[in-house]
Chain A
């Protein structure tokens, strides 16, 4: 799918949302979110061998528009369409334009900010990369249970299922699929947030994901044999191959959010990720991002 067809998808999603919002309720609350920032990943390609590791930074833009419908005092439904783009400094094959939509249903078990809540979310997106190998459709389901214990402290835990439908199948190893970016996985997470002051919000999250992971390597028959799919990956160079394995990824994430006013904030996040994949292969990466968020 090219850039223009992605825009067409976004336009159709926006029109559908507009119609839904108009017909569902005249009292819908319109939401507009814009995030703009930069990210850095120390092991962008999840390489195993030190010599293969590639780090890079990117500019990341994200915009969403939608509406919130208060179905009752305890139930709310948020429908939104969004578009995102990542533009990398060195590895331009990873540049992407994505469009998608999300539906989030939230139910509060009682009255007041301290009432526990449950959130159910379904999302779908299409991602168009400059390097076609990565073009894919994504879908995710998420459930989360949470509670705000005080005005300044809240916690939540949950699980999710993610599915990525790879578009391209270009096998390079006989008998092994080339659909490297055809992935699925299940995750569980727990997170807490604490507002140190009116402006500063700190957060911490631990997550574990079991499922397919994609990494890249130079030609390595031992890795290829252990892989479920292998394909040439020119995004990192002509001698690189992307491969898919089953693995478990543990992520620890710390975040700090500085409120600029009621509608905007400056956010910093750092994540330490470790993946233990089939065959005893371990990937480590550290990533950080700075994002300016605005919401109307």
Chain B
């Protein structure tokens, strides 16, 4: 009797907490008004406490696959302190590395899955490369806040299960022309369960190593 009462109270409390949760529906477009995919949206509570409620599950890490000699997905967002695995589904070997200050690492030449995942213990952007295939580039965005999401092809992302508060929300994208900090906006979800927010960001040209072949055409004697 006593146990079932406690369970009922816990369920009610969880339900109440869930009922209070808010969400921010984000739309990111470029300067021409076209949807921007692979933009990471991060919400940091304005009161400085980024810890999620105990009941709310947050992503624990990520998977960056290697398919057809490309990183898939190209952009992965994870919570700081979590790990990423780098399975290789190509039938050739890769050597994944990063020189980024947020995480320097190197996975020696491997096929299949490396033995250990890589833990990302500092927030920031980590640029991935492959030492065998120079054109391969990928990004791991390590968020200091548990409230983050990545836009889809429609440029939309949903920051859900947010405790009702005021959030400082910012957007990052690999081609973002300005600094990430310049995208910061204050969004208040303390009074309403759902708030729509839009960002129009200027993107620079994607600069990457060309993969396509070029004919050599050397002279002959």
A, B in one complex: yes
Residues on A facing B (Cβ under 8 Å): 27-29, 33, 35, 37, 68, 70, 72-74, 76, 108, 111-113, 115, 148, 150-152, 162, 164, 183, 185, 193, 195, 197-199, 201, 203, 207, 209, 211-214, 249, 251, 253, 255, 257, 259-265, 267, 269, 271, 273, 289, 291, 293-295
Residues of B within 8 A of A213 (CB): 221
Residues of B within 8 A of A35 (CB): 215
Q: CB within 8 Å of A: which of B78-99?
A: 91-93, 95, 97, 99
CA–CA, A149 and B158, complex, Å: 39
Residues of A within 8 A of B99 (CB): 111-112
Asked whether B31 is an interface residue with its Cβ less than 8 Å from the other chain, the reply is: no
Contact B206 A76 (CB under 8 A): no
Residues of A within 8 A of B207 (CB): 150-152
Name the segment of B17-25, B51-59, B129-137, B166-174 touching the other chain: B129-137
Contact B219 A113 (CB under 8 A): no
Given contacts A73-B132, A112-B97, contact A164 B212 (CB under 8 A): no
Residue in contact with B210 in the complex, picked from A162, A195, A253, A269, CB distance below 8 Å: A195
Return 8 A-B CB contacts under 8 Å, by A number.
A73-B109, A111-B99, A148-B134, A152-B207, A183-B221, A207-B219, A214-B221, A263-B213
Contact A264 B212 (CB under 8 A): yes
Asked whether B211 is an interface residue with its Cβ less than 8 Å from the other chain, the reply is: yes
Q: Which of A28, A112, A211, A259: most chain B CB closer than 10 A?
A: A112
Asked whether B178 is an interface residue with its Cβ less than 8 Å from the other chain, the reply is: no
Residues of A within 8 A of B108 (CB): 73
Contact A261 B215 (CB under 8 A): no
Contact A27 B91 (CB under 8 A): yes
Q: CB within 8 Å of A: which of B168-221?
A: 205-215, 217, 219, 221
Q: Known contacts A257-B212, A263-B213; can you find 14 more A-B pairs with CB under 8 A?
A: A27-B111, A70-B95, A111-B99, A112-B131, A162-B221, A164-B221, A195-B209, A199-B212, A209-B219, A213-B221, A214-B221, A259-B210, A265-B215, A291-B215
Residues of A within 8 A of B121 (CB): none
CA–CA, A293 and B215, complex, Å: 6
Distance in angstroms from B93 CB to nearest chain A CB is: 5
Asked whether B30 is an interface residue with its Cβ less than 8 Å from the other chain, the reply is: no
Contact B91 A267 (CB under 8 A): no
Residues of A within 8 A of B211 (CB): 259, 262
Contact B214 A201 (CB under 8 A): yes
Q: Across chains A and B, which 9 residue pairs bring their CB atoms closest together, nearest first?
A: A259-B212, A267-B215, A73-B95, A257-B214, A295-B213, A113-B134, A291-B215, A29-B92, A262-B211
Please count the residue pairs between chain A and chain B whose beta carbons lie under 8 angstroms apart in the complex: 111
Chain A interface helix/strand/loop/mixed? strand
Identify the closest chain B residue to A256 (Cβ): B214
Residue in contact with B212 in the complex, picked from A76, A151, A261, A291, CB distance below 8 Å: A261
Contact B219 A27 (CB under 8 A): no
Q: 1/0 contact trace for B89-117 toward A, CB 8 Å?
A: 00111010101000000101101000000
Residues of B within 8 A of A162 (CB): 221
Identify the closest chain B residue to A266 (Cβ): B215
CA–CA, A150 and B212, complex, Å: 17
Given contacts A213-B221, A294-B213, contact A72 B134 (CB under 8 A): no
CA–CA, A249 and B220, complex, Å: 11
CA–CA, A293 and B204, complex, Å: 29
CA–CA, A125 and B212, complex, Å: 26
Residues of B within 8 A of A262 (CB): 211-212
Identify the closest chain B residue to A115 (Cβ): B131
Residues of A within 8 A of B208 (CB): 151, 198
